[in-house]
Amino acid sequence: MANSGQTETTALVAMLGGRAAVNVRLALVADAQQWQLHHGQVTLDDDAPVKERAWRYSTATFLELRLPGPTVAALLRGDDQDVHGIRIVFPGPPSPSASTYRLRGQEEWGRVTTRWPRTEWTVSRDTNAPQPGHGLLVGDGPSFLNFDQALSAFLYQRPHESTEDRSDLWRIVLPQRVGWLSQITIGPDLLTAVVDGEALDGAVLELSGAADNQMQPVDGAGTYRFELAHGLAHDSLLTLRREDQWLDWRSFSAPTYGRARDASVVWEQPGPVLDLLLANGEGQHLECKREVPECESRKKMLKTIAAFASQDGGTVLIGVQDDLQIVSLPEKPNVDKQVLAVVGMIRDHLEPMPSYEPRVIDHDGKKILAVEVSGGDQMYAYRNEARPEFPEFYVRVGPNTVPARHREIAAGFRQAPGVTTF
C-alpha cells in the first residue's frame, strides 16, 4: 500500500457498515432549524474505550459516543440519521473519494499522534456547506470564544491554531498494530530497537544509510540491536518490514530539542544531536546565548522562553554564539550554579511556570546548557520586576521574539477539558 492516495467513498461505507460499532466524534452546526454535520471523526478500534460526552449550544453541538457501524456508514453515504436525540442532516452530496494516508508510529498529522502506525482517510467538505458562526459559545458545556476553539478543545484538548485547515468533513482512523517500533535507543556505538506487534511472522528489521546496510530477522516482540562501528549516520533509516511492505519506520535526520519530539526515540549521544540542531540555525525553535545573560539580556532570554512555551516549544542553547560557534560555558561560576541561576530566573519572572528541562551537554570537551522548553496549551507571561502588575506576552516569529497581538493572547486563554484523543 502506498503512503498516500485515494479511496472510493463507497469502499469506506462498506467497511463501516460491516462493523458492529465504532467510536465517533461529531461536530454539528445549526442551520435553518436543523442540525448539519460539520465534522466527524471515526476510530476503527475495538480496544479503545469511549466516554460519552455531549456539549450543546444554541448554534453548535459536539457529541462523542459509540454508534453502530451501519448508522455511521449511512451518515458517510449522505443519509439523514437520528443520533442521540438529534436529527443529523448531511450538508450536500458526499464526495466520491477520500484522501488516504498511511502513517508511521509516533507521526503527528492533523494534531493526532499514536504509538503504532495507522491508516487515515479524509473526506472533504462541500465548499458551499453552511459554516459555523464566530460568536461566543455558552450553554451545556464549557464556554468558548468561538466554534473553532470549541472544536479544537473537544477533539484534541489543544487550542485552536489560525493556520489549521478545517476543510475535511470526515476523518476515519484505522490503527495498524501488525508490528511497530516501541522504542529506539541510539548510543555512540549501538542502536537498540524494541519491537512490538500482533503478527510479526516473516518480519525483518533493516538499518540503512548511504554507505551501509544491516538486516536481521524478527522472531517476535522483543529487543534487537545493531552495532554502529562509526556511530549513527545522519541519513539513517530504520525499517520494520515484511517483504516489500513496511510495518513501521523511523528516520534520524534532524532530532530537535525542546519541541514535541518523537517519544519513541532516545538519544544517548548528545554531541551528534547538537550538531544536527545547530545545522538548522537560529529560528522559530532555537535561540543561542554565549553565556548566562544578565540585566537587559536576561529579559530577552526570558521573553524567548515565554514565547517558546506559548507556542510549540523550542530550545535556548547557552554556550553557543549567535554565529553558531560553540564556545562552552564559562568556568566560573561552576556549571551547577549557572544552571541554578537560569532556573531561578524562570521561576521568578515567568507565569505560570512553563514545562522545561535544563540539560548540560558535553560536546568535544565543551559544556553547553540546553534549556528545552515544551509547548503549552496557553499563554505564558513575562513579569517585569519594575512593573509586575503588567504581564507581557510574546510569540516567536522566525528567529525573532515579538510582542503577542491581542488576538493571539485571547486565543491562548481558554479552558480545554480533559479528553482522550483518538
- Please answer whether residues 394 and 307 qualify as being in contact, where contact means their C-beta atoms are separated by less than 8 angstroms: yes
CA 421, CA 112: separation in Å to the nearest integer? 7
- Please answer whether residues 67 and 24 qualify as being in contact, where contact means their C-beta atoms are separated by less than 8 angstroms: yes
Predicted pLDDT of residue 73: 96
CA 393, CA 184: separation in Å to the nearest integer? 37
- Please answer whether residues 150 and 55 qualify as being in contact, where contact means their C-beta atoms are separated by less than 8 angstroms: yes
3-state SS class at 184: strand
- Please answer whether residues 224 and 195 qualify as being in contact, where contact means their C-beta atoms are separated by less than 8 angstroms: yes
Number of Cβ atoms within 10 Å of the Cβ of 163: 5
Predicted pLDDT of residue 164: 58
Q: What is the mean pLDDT of the chain?
A: 87
Q: Say if residue 128's pLDDT is above 80.
A: no
Q: Which of 255, 283, 281 is nearest to 270 (CA)?
A: 255
Work out the average pLDDT over 391-399: 91
* pLDDT tens, position by position, 347-357: 999 998 898 88
Question: What is the phi-psi region of residue 274: left when phi exceeds 0, alpha when psi lies from -120 to 50, beta otherwise?
Answer: alpha
- Please answer whether residues 294 and 392 qualify as being in contact, where contact means their C-beta atoms are separated by less than 8 angstroms: no
CA 77, CA 258: separation in Å to the nearest integer? 43
Domains and CATH numbers, the chain: 4-175 (no CATH), 180-251 (2.60.40), 279-412 (3.30.950.30)
Q: Which of 98, 106, 279 is nearest to 171 (CA)?
A: 98
CA 193, CA 182: separation in Å to the nearest integer? 8
CA 112, CA 118: separation in Å to the nearest integer? 11
Predicted pLDDT of residue 276: 66
- CA dihedral in degrees (413, 415, 418, 420; nearest 10)? -60
* pLDDT tens, position by position, 48-94: 778 899 999 999 999 999 999 999 999 999 999 999 999 999 877 78
Surface-to-core class of residue 350, CB atoms within 10 Å of its CB (0-12 exposed, 13-18 middle, 19+ buried):
buried
Give 61's DSSP letter. E
281 or 74, greater pLDDT: 74
- Please answer whether residues 360 and 335 qualify as being in contact, where contact means their C-beta atoms are separated by less than 8 angstroms: yes
| Residues written for the chain | 422
250 or 419, greater pLDDT: 250
CA 359, CA 373: separation in Å to the nearest integer? 11
Q: Say if residue 104's pLDDT is above 90.
A: yes
Q: 248 CB contacts (<8 Å, ≥6 apart)?
A: 104, 105, 116, 117, 179, 180, 181, 239, 240
CA 218, CA 195: separation in Å to the nearest integer? 8
Surface-to-core class of residue 236, CB atoms within 10 Å of its CB (0-12 exposed, 13-18 middle, 19+ buried):
buried
- Crossing angle of the two packed helices 295-310 and 335-349, in degrees rounded to 10: 70
Predicted pLDDT of residue 165: 58
- Give the amino acid at 59: T
Cell numbers describing residue 110: 492533523
Cα 153 from chain centre: 14
Work out the average pLDDT over 232-250: 92
* pLDDT tens, position by position, 264-274: 888 775 555 67
- Please answer whether residues 81 and 71 qualify as being in contact, where contact means their C-beta atoms are separated by less than 8 angstroms: yes
Cell numbers describing residue 81: 440519521
CA 370, CA 356: separation in Å to the nearest integer? 10
Q: 296 CB contacts (<8 Å, ≥6 apart)?
A: none
418 confidence band (pLDDT: 50, 70, 90): very low
* pLDDT tens, position by position, 308-326: 999 888 889 999 998 899 9
Full-model pTM: 0.68
